[in-house]
Structure 1
Amino acid sequence: MEYMIGVDLGTTSTKAVLFDDQNQVVAQANYGYPLYRDEPDMAEEDLDEIFVAFSNALGSVIRQANLAEGNKITAVSFSSAMHSLIAFDKDWKPLTRVITWADTRAVEFADDLKKSGLGQEIYSKTGTPIHPMAPLSKLLWLKNAHPDIFQKAAHYLGIKEYLFHRLFGTNKMDISIASGTGLFNIFNQEWDAQALELTGLKPEQLPKPVSPYEYETKMVAEYAAVLGMPADTPFVYGAGDGPLSNLGVDAVKPGVAAITVGTSGAIRVVSDKPVIDPKGRTFTYALDKDHWVVGGPVNNGGDVFRWARDNLFDAEKSTAALLGRDAYDLMTDIASRIPAGSNGLLFHPYLGGERAPIWDANARGSFFGLNHSHTRANMLRAVLEGITFNIYMVSLALEEVVGSLKSIQATGGFAHSPLWRQMFADIFEQPVTVPESIESGALAAVIVAQKALGEIDDLYEISKYVGKSATYQPNPENYEAYRELAPIFIRLSRQLQTEYDNIANYQRKHNVK
C-alpha cells in the first residue's frame, strides 16, 4: 500500500492523518501542547513542545502504516496555523518562543498604525488587516518593547517554517503563510518594501517565498531515524489552515462559504484574484497563485465554549466522566432545551479581544439582558448563539466585498454538534452542509501533495472525496427570533466598543491575565 500523511499544525495541538491511495482515513494521531499566557495579552507556545508533539503524531501514524511490511509513505504535506512569529539569532538559536496569532501585546502599535493612513496603504497591498495577530504588528512591538531581541534577530520564521528548518535546514515560507504576515505583497508576491521599511527589516531576514507545491527530500538523518521513515520522503510545504479548510470542504465555487469553528473561527470564500475591502475588514490569503481566499477570522470560537464548560459547568464535567459521555455533548443537550434566542439573553464572545468584524484587540466579553428568569442553561445557549452571531456579522461584511452567499460548508469542532449546525442554518438563513470528512485540513494538504507530485492535474479533484454527511435547513420557528435579536447584537457591539479600551487598560493595570 501507498499512503500520504496530512499534518495539521494547530494552535493547541498537532494532528497527523494517514490516508490511503483512495484518500480514505486509515489512522490519525493528535498531540497537544499548552498555550502560555504568563502575562496579560500573551499567547505563546514552546518550540520544543511543538516539535515533540509533531514527532509523536507523525511517528504514530507512520508506525500504523507498517512500512516494514513493504508499505510506503509517498508524501507528507502540511496545513498550518497562520500569523506565528519566532525570532532567531545569526546561529539559528531561538530568541523567542512561538508568538501566536492569539498574542495581542502589539495592540498599541497596531492601533497607531490603523489610525495613520499608512495602515490602510499597507493593507491594500498585503491583504492582511492591521491587527496585533499579524507578524507586521508583532515586529513593531518587538522593535519597541524588546529592542535587545530585535537587534539580535537575524532570522524570522513561523512555526511550520521552523519545523522545515529543523528537519531539512531550509529557510523558506510558502506564499499562503506569507500572505498572512502583513509583510507580503499579494500582487507581486514578494516581500513588500514599504512594510519592511516600516518594521526595519531587511529581505534576507525573512524566508524565501515558495509555492505551496514545493517540497523537500533530504531530511536530516537523525530525524528520519526518529520518525522511522526514509530520509528522501517528500515533505510538501502546503498552505495555511484557513485556505486549506475551504479546499478541504470543497468550498471553492462562487458564493459557497466555508465556516470553521475550532479554537478560533472564520468564514471564507474563494476568488480567482486578490480582493481588498476598502474598509479593511476582510483578509485575502493565498491558497496558491491562482486561488485566493477572502474572509474574516474570529478569535473567539470553541475556546469560549471551553470557558463556559470550565467556569459555568464544572460539575457537569464530573458527571459526564461518570456517565462515560463527552462533557460538551452533555452541555449541548442542556442548551437544546432552551428556545432560540435564549429568552432575550445576548452574549458578546470577546474573551480574547476580536479580529473580524470589529478588529479590536481590546474587546471584552459580556452578557446583556440578564434578568431573574435566566439560568445557566440560558447562559450556555447564549454563548453558542453569541459565537454564531459574531460570525454572522463577519458574513455581512464579506458579502459587501464578494457578493451574496448561497450556501455554507461547515467544518471544525462545532461541526460535531447538531445543535450548533442548526443554529448556524437558522441565524444565517442558509443551508449548512457538513462534509463526510471532518479532517478537511489534512485532506486538503494531501490533495496539494498529489498536485505537487503530478498525481492530479488540479485541486478540484477533491470534490471526488468530499461527500455530505448531513445538510441542515433553516427552521422558520427559530430564525424569526434571530431576525429580531441580530440587529440588537450588532448595534450593541458598536456601542460597547467605545468602552473596550477603558476596561482593557484597567485590566492591564491590575494585571488581569
Structure 2
Amino acid sequence: MKEVVLGIDVGTSAVKVIAVTKYGEVLKSVHAPVKTMNFINGYSEQNPDDWFEGACDCIKQLIHSKELTHYQVTGLSLSGQMHSLVILDDEYKPIRNAILWNDTRSTFQCNLIKKKLGDYVLDNPVLEGFTLTKLLWIKENEPNHWLNTEVFLLPKDYVRFKLTDKLNMEYSDASSTLLLDNQQKCWAKEVGRQFGIDHIYPNLVNSDDFVGYVTEHVAQELGLNNLVAVFAGGGDNACGALGSGVIADNQTLCSIGTSGVVLSCESDKNADYQQNMHYFNHVVTDMSYVMGVTLAAGDSLRWLKNNILPHLNYDQIISKAKSAPLGSNGLLFTPYLSGERTPHGDASIRGSFIGLKTSHNRNDIARSVIEGITFSLYESINYLRHMGKTITSVTSIGGGAQSDFWLQLQADIFNTKIKKLKHEEGPCMGAAMLAALGLGWYEHVADITKHFIKYEYVFEPDSKRHKQYMAYFELYQAVYQQTQSITAQLLKISDVD
C-alpha cells in the first residue's frame, strides 16, 4: 500500500486533521469542533480531553474514508494553539480545564513579573496570553491545583502524550511560554525560580524529532494497523509558516484565524524587537521568527456575523463589504474586542466604531470591520519595516485568504504583493511536512517546500489606493490613544469584564 502522513492541528475552534501523500497531495481533510467555556468575561477555557477525542474522531473518519482505501498511515505530527496551559497531576491526568491563549485574567500576574524582571522577559513582552502568567495565576488562586501539578504542557503536547504515552515539549511552542531561553534552547529555570516554579518542566525536543509510536491500544481504537511514527510538531504559527513555504529570512506570513498574525522569519539571534512583538523559535532548524498579533481578527468578523448580521453567511458579508467604498464612507473600526496584543499590549482596551452616522449601512459596517482588522495587522508590518526588515511579498492564509477581495485589500494596505496558496491547509500542512521530514521522505526543508507548496495567484498592490488607505490608517492609529482611558473606565464602572 502507498503511504500517507497525518497533520493534526489542535485549534481554538476545532481540531483538524489532513492526510497527505509523499508528493504533497491532500487526500482528505476533516475537522471536529471544540467547545470553549467562558464562565466569566475574560476567562477562556477548554477541556484538554476534548482535543484528543476530536483528533481521534477525525483520524477514524480519515482511516475509513474511500480516499484512503489504498493508503496506510506511517507517520503523523501535530501543531496547536500556542501559550494555552495544561497542568497534569502525578498520574498525568489534567487537573483542571486548559487556560487558553486568549484568556485575560492574569493582569495582576503580568504586573508582578514586570515589577521583578521588566516589561520584556527572554526577548518577549510580558502579556496575559503567555503561559508563565497563567501558571502564576493558578499558583496564587488555586493553591491545591498548584500543589498537585506534576508537569505543564501546551495543547498539542497533551494530544501527542495521549497518542504515545510520551511527555515532552518542542522548542517552537516552548518559546511562547516566557520560560524558554531561545538562544541556549533550554528552560530558563532561573526565571521560574523567582516565582516558585521548579520541577514541572517537560523534556525538550526538536520539531522533527521522532518521539514514539502510537500506542497499541490507541492504534486499535483508531483502526491504525501498523506502527505509526509520531514526530514532535510545532506551534500553530510556526507550522502555518512552514506549511506556507515561509522558511527563510524576511519571508513573511499573514494568517487570519480567530486571532490575526503577521510573522516574518529572522535568522539574527540578537534581534531586538519592541512594541509587543514576539520573538519565537521556528520549526525550521536555526531559524526564528518575529510576530505581531491581533487578538480578535477573524473573531471580530465572527462577532459581526453573530450579533449584527446573523442572517448572512461569511461570503455574503464579504460581498456587502465589497459594495462599500474604500474607507467605508468615513467609518473606522478597531478590533479590540478581546483587548489587543500588538502593538499596545492592553488587556483592557475594547473595540469601537468611530464616525458612525445615520447614512451608514450594513455594507459600510462590514467593510469597516475588515479594514480595521487589516489596519491592525498592518501596524506590525509597518513596525517591522521601520526596524529594517525588507517585506516585498506576504503569503496570506486563514479566513482572510478565502476572499480575493480581502487579499487585494491586504495588498493595497500592506503595499506589498500578496501570495495566495493553491492549496491552503494552514498549520496542518506544516505538521504533515514535519512528519514527512521525520520519516526521511525529504532530506531538507527547502526540498519539501518545492514539492508541497504551490501558489495560485499573486495580488499586486495599487499605489493610489495605498495612499488613500494611509490617510485612514493615521486616524486609526489615533483611536487607541483617544479611547484607552474611556474603555478602561467603562470596564471599571460596569464591572462586567
Distance 2:459 2:129 in 1: 33
**Greater CA deviation, 278-287 or 134-143?**
278-287
Alpha-carbon contact 2:175-2:181 (below 8 Å) kept: yes
Alpha-carbon contact 2:213-2:230 (below 8 Å) kept: no
Seen in structure 2, the aligned counterparts of structure 1 residues 439 and 67 have a Cα distance that, compared at 3 Å, is closer
Correspondent of 2:470 among 478, 483, 497 = 483
Shift of 1:198: 2.9
**Greater CA deviation, 242-251 or 298-307?**
242-251
Alpha-carbon contact 1:43-1:100 (below 8 Å) kept: yes
1:118 paired to 2:117: yes
Cα RMSD for the two superposed structures: 1.9
1:367-397 superposed Cα distances (whole Å, 9 cap, x missing partner): 0111222122211110000000000012122
Distance 2:421 2:317 in 1: 24
Question: Superposition pairs for residues 113-192 of structure 1, below 5 Å?
Answer: 113-114=113-114, 116=115, 118-120=117-119, 123=121, 125=122, 127-192=123-188
Distance 1:469 1:264 in 2: 24
Shift of 1:222: 2.0
Which SS does the other structure have where 1:446 is aligned? helix
Alpha-carbon contact 1:298-1:355 (below 8 Å) kept: yes
Which SS does the other structure have where 1:434 is aligned? strand
Which SS does the other structure have where 1:199 is aligned? coil
Aligned residue in 2 for 1:322 = none
Alpha-carbon contact 1:120-1:280 (below 8 Å) kept: no
Correspondent of 1:249 among 226, 240, 244 = 244
Question: Superposition pairs for residues 426-505 of structure 1, below 5 Å?
Answer: 426-461=412-447, 462-505=449-492
Shift of 1:497: 2.5
Aligned residue in 2 for 1:194 = 190
Shift of 1:308: 0.4
Which SS does the other structure have where 1:96 is aligned? coil
Distance 1:482 1:223 in 2: 53
1:205 paired to 2:200: yes
Aligned residue in 2 for 1:350 = 336
Shift of 1:13: 0.4
Which SS does the other structure have where 2:177 is aligned? coil
Alpha-carbon contact 2:321-2:363 (below 8 Å) kept: yes
Which SS does the other structure have where 1:314 is aligned? coil
Shift of 1:274: 3.4
Correspondent of 2:322 among 336, 341, 356 = 336
Shift of 1:66: 7.2
Aligned residue in 2 for 1:72 = 72
Shift of 1:278: 4.9
Distance 2:201 2:5 in 1: 30
Which SS does the other structure have where 1:103 is aligned? coil
Distance 1:389 1:47 in 2: 34
Distance 1:367 1:112 in 2: 33
Percent identity between matched residues is 27
Shift of 1:275: 4.9
- The residue identity in structure 1 corresponding to 2:98 is V
1:378-421 superposed Cα distances (whole Å, 9 cap, x missing partner): 11110000000000012122234451311111001110111111
Distance 1:275 1:406 in 2: 23
- The residue identity in structure 1 corresponding to 2:171 is I
Alpha-carbon contact 2:262-2:292 (below 8 Å) kept: yes
Q: TM-score, normalised by structure 2?
A: 0.95
Distance 1:410 1:398 in 2: 17
- The residue identity in structure 2 corresponding to 1:55 is C
Distance 2:446 2:411 in 1: 26
Aligned residue in 2 for 1:3 = 4
Which SS does the other structure have where 2:4 is aligned? strand
1:23-62 superposed Cα distances (whole Å, 9 cap, x missing partner): 1111111111111111121111112222211111122112
Query: Which structure shows the higher helix fraction?
Result: 1
- The residue identity in structure 1 corresponding to 2:5 is M
- The residue identity in structure 2 corresponding to 1:350 is Y
Question: Superposition pairs for residues 94-109 of structure 1, below 5 Å?
Answer: 94-109=94-109
Seen in structure 2, the aligned counterparts of structure 1 residues 467 and 219 have a Cα distance that, compared at 3 Å, is closer
Aligned residue in 1 for 2:46 = 45
Q: Which segments of 5 or more consecutive residues in structure 1 lack a partner in the other structure?
A: 317-326
Distance 1:142 1:117 in 2: 19
Shift of 1:218: 3.5
Which SS does the other structure have where 2:95 is aligned? coil
Shift of 1:221: 2.2
Seen in structure 2, the aligned counterparts of structure 1 residues 7 and 268 have a Cα distance that, compared at 3 Å, is same
Distance 1:452 1:401 in 2: 35
Alpha-carbon contact 1:275-1:294 (below 8 Å) kept: no
Aligned residue in 2 for 1:416 = 402
Runs of 4+ with deviation above 4 angstroms: 65-69
Which SS does the other structure have where 2:194 is aligned? helix
- The residue identity in structure 2 corresponding to 1:456 is Y
Distance 1:143 1:402 in 2: 41
Shift of 1:500: 3.9
Which SS does the other structure have where 1:217 is aligned? strand
Distance 1:90 1:237 in 2: 22
Alpha-carbon contact 1:433-1:472 (below 8 Å) kept: yes
- The residue identity in structure 1 corresponding to 2:454 is G
1:380 paired to 2:366: yes
Q: TM-score, normalised by structure 1?
A: 0.92
Shift of 1:209: 0.7
Q: Which segments of 5 or more consecutive residues in structure 2 lack a partner in the other structure?
A: none
Seen in structure 2, the aligned counterparts of structure 1 residues 487 and 477 have a Cα distance that, compared at 3 Å, is same
- The residue identity in structure 2 corresponding to 1:148 is N
- The residue identity in structure 2 corresponding to 1:293 is Y
Alpha-carbon contact 2:62-2:68 (below 8 Å) kept: no
Question: Superposition pairs for residues 56-95 of structure 1, below 5 Å?
Answer: 56-64=57-65, 69=70, 71-95=71-95
Shift of 1:276: 4.4
Distance 2:4 2:217 in 1: 22
